């Protein structure tokens, strides 16, 4: 899975801001979205058909704007032999602010993440929501719902739960035989269960070992199976150390993954809160012990950005969207790490009250 870099995120955000600033006088702004893998020729045929429909629009000005916009998009699409890997979003419309003057603008955006929406729409604004959703920071967690008969391995990406693998063990559910055969049957089922646990652990290693944005694991199932798996399942140390939540759940299918995520909501939120607390603590620690290596406030932080001195920029979410965007843009230009500080903890409130929302850890002193 390709990392969504700060640079790509900023570029996309700039384009979205530009699109959202455009306002049509009527429903004359055309938005077209082509999802990953969709036939681009089929979209061209659809838009040719929409051109014929648009000829029935009563307003001459709106009719002309819509038809000209569709023609611009069709011409652009004919430059593509096939839909790009992540899909394609196209926007066209009259961007002139002068009454009676037509200036048809065109935007063709190859998104940094797969586009899953197919759309054609004429409106007074461009439809940017599917692209804006890509700007949301996605925390990735591995999921495992397991009992002795079945296991479902999944992924929590942002708010989406995706099933990756389903496995079954062949271990019988209940043992009814008596005497010696019961003991022998028990040994056999224990062996099968351990073999199943090893297989699940191998699948998890294959799926998650080299996943760069993996934040942790959530594991669920009945007592004591999930604990047995953790103890005996041969899960590699790198993955075992990432277990942040172990929950009792009664299902081990897709529904079980839903229940697991719901039951682990507190642990997931705590991960981000802990990370935030640590960076704020680090900032104030440097500020106290080595004040030449940390600054805060608009004037000093701006100077740090200008000189390329900032290693890590801390911005409170209490700042305006425009302020955050401007700081982010300058920081990315000099290769700084940008961290947004929430307004949900005592530490974040303290950060804002002292810094007014802007602080930085420096690469070198400004003196």
The residue count for the chain: 367
As averages over each run of 10 residues, the pLDDT of the chain (367 residues) reads 62 92 92 95 96 93 95 96 95 89 94 92 95 80 96 87 92 58 77 92 94 90 94 86 96 95 88 83 96 96 96 94 90 90 86 96 93
- Positive or negative, the CA dihedral 137, 238, 336, 278 is positive
| Greatest Cα pair distance in the chain | 94
The pLDDT of residue 2: 43
Per-residue burial over 190-203, b if 16 or more Cβ lie within 10 Å, else e, is eeebbebbeebbeb
Query: So what CATH class is 6-135?
Result: alpha beta
Give the DSSP letter of residue 161.
Answer: E
Does 140-263 match 6-135 at the fold level? Answer: no
Comparing CA positions, the residue from 68, 70, 65 lying closest to residue 46 is 70
Question: Residues 90, 92, 97, 98: what is their CA dihedral angle, to the nearest 10 degrees?
Answer: 170
pTM of the predicted model, to two decimals? 0.55
Are 32 and 120 within 8 A, CB to CB? yes
Are 361 and 283 within 8 A, CB to CB? yes
C-alpha span between 235 and 216 (Å, rounded): 14
Are 132 and 13 within 8 A, CB to CB? no
The third-level CATH classification (topology) of the domain covering 271-362 is 60s Ribosomal Protein L30; Chain: A; (3.30.1330)
Domain residue extents for the chain:
6-135, 140-263, 271-362
CA angle 132, 137, 141 (to 5 degrees): 130
Give the DSSP letter of residue 32.
Answer: E
What is the SS3 assignment for 86?
coil
DSSP structure string for 212-255: TTEEEEEEEESTTHHHHHHHHS---HHHHTTEEEEEE-S--SHH
The third-level CATH classification (topology) of the domain covering 140-263 is Nucleotidyltransferase; domain 5 (3.30.420)
293 half-sphere exposure, CB direction, 13 A CA radius: 10
Which single residue is written with the structure tokens 């099933």? 163
10 half-sphere exposure, CB direction, 13 A CA radius: 17
Which single residue is written with the structure tokens 């047995």? 228
Per-residue burial over 85-108, b if 16 or more Cβ lie within 10 Å, else e, is ebbbbbbbbbbeeeeeeeebbebb
Q: What is the pLDDT of residues 74-90, one digit of tens each?
A: 999 999 999 999 999 99
Residue 219 has φ and ψ, to the nearest 5°, of -125, 130
β partners of residue 3: none
The pLDDT of residue 173: 64
| N- to C-terminal Cα separation, the chain | 42
CA angle 230, 233, 238 (to 5 degrees): 70
Comparing CA positions, the residue from 79, 107, 108, 111 lying closest to residue 95 is 107
Q: What is the pLDDT of residues 319-358, one digit of tens each?
A: 998 899 899 989 988 989 899 898 878 889 999 999 999 9
Report residue 177 CA to chain centroid gap.
Answer: 51
Would you tell me how many other CB atoms lie within 10 Å of the CB of residue 29? 26
């Amino acid at each position: 899975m390709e990392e969504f870099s700060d640079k790509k995120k900023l570029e996309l955000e700039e384009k979205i801001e530009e699109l959202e600033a455009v306002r049509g006088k009527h429903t004359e702004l055309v938005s077209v979205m082509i999802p990953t893998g969709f036939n681009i020729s089929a979209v061209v045929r659809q838009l040719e058909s929409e051109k014929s429909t648009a000829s029935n629009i009563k307003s001459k000005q709106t009719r002309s704007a819509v038809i000209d916009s569709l023609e611009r998009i069709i011409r652009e699409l004919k430059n593509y032999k096939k839909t790009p890997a992540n899909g394609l979003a196209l926007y066209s419309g009259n961007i002139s602010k002068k009454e009676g003057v037509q200036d048809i603008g065109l935007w063709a955006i190859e998104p940094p993440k797969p586009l899953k929406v197919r759309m054609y729409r004429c409106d007074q604004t461009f439809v940017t929501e599917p692209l804006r959703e890509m700007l949301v920071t996605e925390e990735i967690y591995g999921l495992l719902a397991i009992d002795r008969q079945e296991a479902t391995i999944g992924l929590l990406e942002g708010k989406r739960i995706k099933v990756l693998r389903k496995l079954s063990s062949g271990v019988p559910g209940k043992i009814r035989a008596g005497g010696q055969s019961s003991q022998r049957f028990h040994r056999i089922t224990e062996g099968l269960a351990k073999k199943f646990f090893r297989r699940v652990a191998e699948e998890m290693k294959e799926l998650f070992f080299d996943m760069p944005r993996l934040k942790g694991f959530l594991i669920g199932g009945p007592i004591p199976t999930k604990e047995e798996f953790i103890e005996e399942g041969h899960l590699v140390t790198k993955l075992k150390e990432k277990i942040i939540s172990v929950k009792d759940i009664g299902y081990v299918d897709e529904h079980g993954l839903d229940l697991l995520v719901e039951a682990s909501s507190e642990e997931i939120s705590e991960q981000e809160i802990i990370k935030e607390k640590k960076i704020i603590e680090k900032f104030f620690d440097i500020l106290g012990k080595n004040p030449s290596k940390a600054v805060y406030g608009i004037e000093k932080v701006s100077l740090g950005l200008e000189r390329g001195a900032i290693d890590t920029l801390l911005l409170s979410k209490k700042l305006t969207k425009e302020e955050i965007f401007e700081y982010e843009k300058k920081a990315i230009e000099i290769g700084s790490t940008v961290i947004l500080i929430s307004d949900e903890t005592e530490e974040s409130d303290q950060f804002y009250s002292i810094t007014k929302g802007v602080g930085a850890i420096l690469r070198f002193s400004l003196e």
